[in-house]
Amino acid sequence: MLKKERFRRFIDYFTTHYAEVQTELNFSNPFELLVAVILSAQCTDKRINQITPALFARFPEAESLAAASVEEVFSYIRSVSYPNNKAKHLVGMARLLVEKFGGEVPATLAELQSLPGVGRKTAHVILSIVYNEPTMAVDTHVFRVSHRLGLAPLTATTPLAVEKALVAHIPKELVPKSHHWLILHGRYVCVARAPKCDICALKDFCKYYEKQTAPPRRVRQSV
C-alpha cells in the first residue's frame, strides 16, 4: 500500500469516528495546561488529574507558583514520577514566566523551550492545544503507533524524524487532532506490550498486524 493511501485511511477513520478529540488532562487556562503537561512526563494523565486540583487551588497563576518554595510544591506532587526534578522545574518555569513573559504562557517554540522543564514535545502540546498551531508532539504512544501503522518509516528512529514524517503527509488543519488520535489509539488499543489487534479498526492496513499474521516462511532444505 502506498504511503499516501495509508495516511488517507488513517485520516478517514478518525475524522469519521473521532472528529472531536481533546487532551485527557484537566485544565482551565494555558498556565494550568503547561503545569499539567510538565508533570505528565513519564506519568499517566489519570494520576496528574488526581493531584492538580489541589495544586491549582494553591497556585492558581504563575505569580503564586513563582513565590513558592520547591519543598512546598513537592508536597503537592510527591505521588508523580520524578517529583523532585518536577518541583524544581515548576518553580523555575513560573519564575521565568513572571520575569520574562509577564506571567503569560508564550506562543512560540523557542520561548516555550526556554522555560525549565519544557522540551520540544511539551512546547508542541501547548502550541497545538492553546494556539491551534499545526505542531505534532511525539510521545511514546505517537512514536509506537506511527511505526506500527506504517505512517513513519523504520528509518525514523527519533521523535523529530517521526514528527517530520507525520506533518509531511497530514493536512495542517488536522495535525493538532492527529496528535490526540495517535495518543489515544496507543493508550487504549495499540498498547505497547499486548496490542489489542482483535478490536482494532485499523488492522487491515497496519504493518505490525500484517507481520504478526503472516504465515511462516518455508525454508528450502538442501538435498
Annotated binding residue at 43? no
Catalytically annotated residues? 121, 139
| Long-range contacts (CB closer than 8 Å, 24 or more residues apart) made by 80-83 | 80/39, 80/43, 80/47, 80/48, 80/51, 81/41, 81/42, 81/43, 82/41, 82/42
CA distances from 24 to 33, 45, 115, 180 (A): 11, 6, 23, 9
Where does residue 47 rank: exposed (0-12), middle (13-18), buried (19+ CB within 10 A)?
A: middle
Annotated binding residue at 190? yes
- Which residues make Cβ contacts (< 8 Å) with residue 86, sequence separation at least 6? 38, 39, 41, 77, 80, 117
- Which residues make Cβ contacts (< 8 Å) with residue 12, sequence separation at least 6? none
Q: How far apart are CA 88 and CA 70, in angstroms?
A: 6
Q: How far apart are CA 215 and CA 206, in angstroms?
A: 16
Binding residues: 190, 197, 200, 206
Binding residues for [4Fe-4S] cluster: 190, 197, 200, 206
